[in-house]
Amino acid sequence: MISQYLTEIRRTAIVYDIKITGWKIYTLFLSLFITGLMVENIFYLSSFTRFAVWMVIISAIIIGITWFIISAVQIKANAFGRYRWSYLARITGKHALPKEDTLINALQIERDVQESESTELSHAFIDQTTQKLKKLNLPGLFPLERIHHWKRITFIGLTISILSLAFTWKHSISSLYRWTHPKTEFIVPKPFKLKSLSRHMNVLGGENTVVSFSAIGDIPDSLQIEFKPVAFFPGRDSLILKTIYPTKDKNIFTAELKEVFQNYRYRSFYTS
């Protein structure tokens, strides 16, 4: 009777709280995900730091699952404060019945009805309260506006996440790879700028030519030089790729292309 209605109210309250908590967790996950990628993009965290963060996340998940199991046991035993029948009866009476204590009084009378001297009055009060509960709109006790509010927050977070990934896709993919390999130590890239010294050159057919580049900043240990024919036809022409190293005590990189018989474009790049 009264306890059955309170059980239904408790079920509705649990579903309501699960929905709100789910949106909160989703928003928190998005925030941590984007923050983690952006921090890794900038600082290149050490393997110790990345592994420690993973341990904290796993520990938090284990604690959350443990708390969920304990809470489920307490709810079943009617020992979880927020979902106790007495608490739900008081809240329901406050928002849906003429008096705040109407439902909790009916619940108490229902429990003690066998010992009551006024059995007929007790049953009449219980029946009267039950009729009011039948007209009760359970979803109305739990405002949907809170759920919609967290949906909007999550949508904003998702939009920011997508835009952040779109503008930093190349770096974010690398950061994600490093996060998924927390025990691997990655070498921090050294910033430098390459400048062509040879620029445009005119060469007679069959002569050799030398191209040169200088590095400004932290000098890399090697560079890749690519020579590509201007009139490039796959299957007939081929790219020429060379690895070059800096000259002693200088930041100059040079590469020689022998017996030039056609026009070439050339470029230098560094592979991380």
Burial of 94-112, coded b for 16+ CB within 10 Å and e otherwise, reads eebbeeeebbbbbbebbee
What are the boundaries of each domain within the chain? 2-179, 192-269
- Where is 262: in which H helix or E strand? none
**Range 192-269: architecture per CATH:** Sandwich (2.60)
Structure tokens at 42: 């900038």
Nearest by Cα to 242 from 256, 222, 224: 224
Report the C-alpha gap between 223 and 225 in whole angstroms: 7
Task: List, in order, residues 6 or more apart from 132 with CB less than 8 Å away.
Answer: 96, 97, 102
- The pLDDT profile of the chain, 272 residues, written as one tens digit per residue, is 777 888 888 998 999 999 999 999 999 999 999 999 999 998 899 999 999 999 999 999 999 999 999 999 999 998 998 899 888 888 888 777 777 778 878 878 777 765 555 677 777 777 877 777 777 777 677 888 889 999 999 999 999 999 999 999 988 999 999 999 999 998 777 778 888 998 888 888 889 999 999 988 888 888 999 999 888 887 777 888 999 988 876 788 999 999 888 888 999 988 76
CA distances, 104 to each of 69, 84, 131, 220 (Å): 28, 11, 15, 77
Please name the residue that has the structure tokens 């990934």: 165
Q: What is the pTM of this model?
A: 0.68
